[in-house]
Amino acid sequence: MQRERVSADIYVFRSDLYLQVTAGVIATEEGAVIVDTLPFPKETKALSDFVQRRCPQGVRYVINTHAHADHSHGSCFFPEAELIGHRRAREYLLKYGEANLTEAKRHSNDLATVELRLPDLVFDNLLVLRLGGKTITLKHSPGHSPDTITVRIKEDKVMFASDTILPVPYVDFLVGGSITDLRRSLRGIEVAGLENVVQGHGEVLLRGEIRGIISSSLKYLDCVEAAVDSAIANQTPVETLLKTSIEQCGKSRIPLNGVVQQLHRANLYYLYQTKTGALPA
């Protein structure tokens, strides 16, 4: 696990075990706020140990930026903290959480100690926390999934963008993600005043990179949708559509150890299935 200090009081942790997924610690004189947890207990325990050293006041809040397991599995290891998430994250976990966790445990003994935990505090559009001199704004940011949120720390000029910003945009159509919503969420990010953006997976973005990444992500989504629309209009087989390379849409195949190529193919395939009626819109 990698640790990076992005401001005096904010630390980013990046998993070595699963797709460079990120988590964050906001240290304040009144306790810590944790933004997402890491998918495997070993790494979440290391994060917890760091928090105990850095912030002896303890953990006041854990924020789930969405319900996906790689961001929320470790919530159970902070029982003393109030857990915050979007209302739809809680609804998703109530409906699917136990079954998904049981299935995950079948494939990995490393998850044996993980228990499902539901958010204690939920919101719909906007929630502002004030703790230890920090103003922390949680904002609904759907697209990747219906329950995704971003977390912005005003005083530190840092945003945890969750999976709204990734090395390649990814829409999880299987849980109700929407390419239209993702475009809207990307356009709605207030770049002015930001020094760093923490992606849901991968490297932290610096001030000079943020606008360019958002712009290229919007162009990527336009390219994917245009390719799908063309394939449908011309009755092109989906197998041919899937040959549309990630580079044709302006993104690199290198990040996340190449897994971005799988995400790209999934975007093409599931958008095609959604538009042709094979998946519910």
The string of pLDDT tens digits covering residues 252-266 is 999 999 999 999 999
Summarised one tens digit per residue, pLDDT across range 155-175 is: 999 999 999 999 999 999 999
For residue 107, the SS3 value is helix
Query: Is the pLDDT score of 42 beyond 60?
Result: yes
Summarised one tens digit per residue, pLDDT across range 207-232 is: 999 999 999 999 999 999 999 999 99
Query: Is the pLDDT score of 57 beyond 80?
Result: yes
Please give the average per-residue pLDDT across 2-16, as a whole number: 98
Grade residue 107 by pLDDT with cuts at 50, 70 and 90: very high
For residue 225, the SS3 value is helix
Q: What is the rounded average pLDDT for all residues in the chain?
A: 98
Grade residue 278 by pLDDT with cuts at 50, 70 and 90: confident
In this predicted structure, what is the pLDDT of residue 281? 56
Q: Show the domains of the chain with their CATH numbers.
A: 2-207 (3.60.15.10)
Share above pLDDT 70 across residues of the chain, in percent, rounded to a whole number = 99
Summarised one tens digit per residue, pLDDT across range 63-98 is: 999 999 999 999 999 999 999 999 999 999 999 999
Please give the average per-residue pLDDT across 134-143, as a whole number: 99
